[in-house]
Amino acid sequence: MKKVKIRYIGLLPPPIGGVTIHNSRLFQWLQRTDDVSVKMTVLNNVEAEENDVEQVGNKFFWLLKRLLFGFKEDIIHYQASNIYGLFFLVLVKKIHKNFKLVWSIQGEHIVTIVKNSFFKGMIYNIDKIIVANQNIEDDLYSIGMKASNVTLISPFLMPLIEENPNLLSKYRQKNMKILIFNAYRLEITKNGDDIYGFKTLINSFNKVNADTILILLIPSMNREEKEYFQKELNKLALDKRARIIHIQDEKNYGWQYISQSDIFIRPTITDGDAVSVKEALCFKIPAVVSDCTYRPNEAIQFKTNDSDDLARVVNELIENYEFEKEKLKNIDFCSKSKGLDFINLYKEMVI
């Protein structure tokens, strides 16, 4: 059987976020299989050394070239939330009918954007939409998508572990548990909603066991986010603030820190199938997560936006830490997460 030819279109790190990490890992795993050949078109301005990576460069000429000549690949897989980019690919597909179009949706808010968009009807021309969780799948069905055009595949992919430097040893103190929160940036909506639940996290730290250190791994913030960050930290007593460490590291990956922590916390108010949660579980790190969406059964949930409940769950976890760690010993998220579901889907689409 001939190799399936894939053109993967999306963003690569930096920034280091759930979508860019997923794109990078899927591209790397696809490069390592004999079943497909893959080339990537990168939408952001990043340095990429691989021969199979194409920079868009001049957008006008790239778009014109695709309109005139289309694509040579069997499948075009678009992994981005820009609706205009998706509309353009649907248009190219209508002109050049030699390829199948795949779109991945990781964030639950994306369907709402599509619903309210002038381009809503275009999604019915997409051959396959890959969704990150059941909520997104149900939302697509509610606007008329057929089940045959929707597939649920977790975006979590095992990192290709080449090196894992000891990043947290200098923060380790005797009998102190390291809690970690990870977000590339803090995202505050126009309505003032705190997407990553940072306020809930900080409020909960007032009530969390004193034998803890909280690592805030937030590499990048704009001015508004920095002001919000500082305002929330200033609400804490000095002894609490002294146990909080802010790390701005764009060189190393989140999983490298998460894998060396004791407890991972994700207090988001909305989410897809968060990569960082499964990274924690993959490395046998207990994960405390908000109940805003579907979560892995092995994660420990608390009520979204409820700092008291978050503090209670964290304190109970610390008290029963060895028992909870033992429960994760036989969980295997890693070996199953090497892109096989994506590869099988591609193959099925061209048969």
The answer to the question of residue 337 being in a domain is no
Domain identity same for 218 and 309 = yes
The answer to the question of residue 347 being in a domain is no
Domain identity same for 58 and 134 = yes
Tens place of pLDDT for every residue, the chain, 351 residues? 689 999 999 999 887 788 999 999 999 999 999 999 999 999 998 877 677 999 888 899 999 999 999 999 999 999 998 999 999 999 999 999 999 999 999 988 888 888 888 878 899 999 999 999 999 999 999 999 999 999 999 898 888 776 678 899 989 888 899 999 999 899 998 888 999 999 999 999 999 988 999 999 999 999 999 999 999 999 999 999 999 999 999 888 899 999 999 999 999 999 988 889 999 999 999 999 999 998 999 999 999 999 999 999 999 999 999 999 999 988 776 666 778 999 999 999 997
The answer to the question of residue 317 being in a domain is yes
Domain identity same for 205 and 130 = no
Domain identity same for 300 and 219 = yes
The answer to the question of residue 162 being in a domain is no
How many CA within 13 A on the CB side of residue 298?
22
The answer to the question of residue 164 being in a domain is no
Q: How many residues does the chain have?
A: 351
The answer to the question of residue 25 being in a domain is yes
Domain identity same for 103 and 216 = no
> Count of domains in the chain?
2
Domain identity same for 220 and 108 = no
Domain identity same for 147 and 190 = no
Domain identity same for 60 and 206 = no
Domain identity same for 174 and 144 = no
pLDDT for the residue numbered 336: 61
The answer to the question of residue 341 being in a domain is no
CATH number at residue 26: 3.40.50.2000
Q: Which of 155, 183, 210 is the last residue of a domain?
A: 155
Q: Which of 155, 182, 217 is the last residue of a domain?
A: 155
Q: Cβ neighbours of residue 97 under 8 Å, at least 6 residues apart?
A: none
CB 22 within 8 A of CB 106: yes
Domain identity same for 210 and 305 = yes
Query: Can you spell out the DSSP letters for 211-276?
Result: SEEEEEE-----HHHHHHHHHHHTTS-HHHHTTEEEE--SSS-HHHHHTTSSEEEE--SS-SS-HH
Domain identity same for 16 and 148 = yes
The burial of 35, by beta-carbon neighbours within 10 Å (0-12 exposed, 13-18 middle, 19 or more buried), is given as middle
The answer to the question of residue 69 being in a domain is yes
Domain identity same for 237 and 289 = yes
Domain that holds residue 95: 4-155
Q: Give the pTM.
A: 0.82
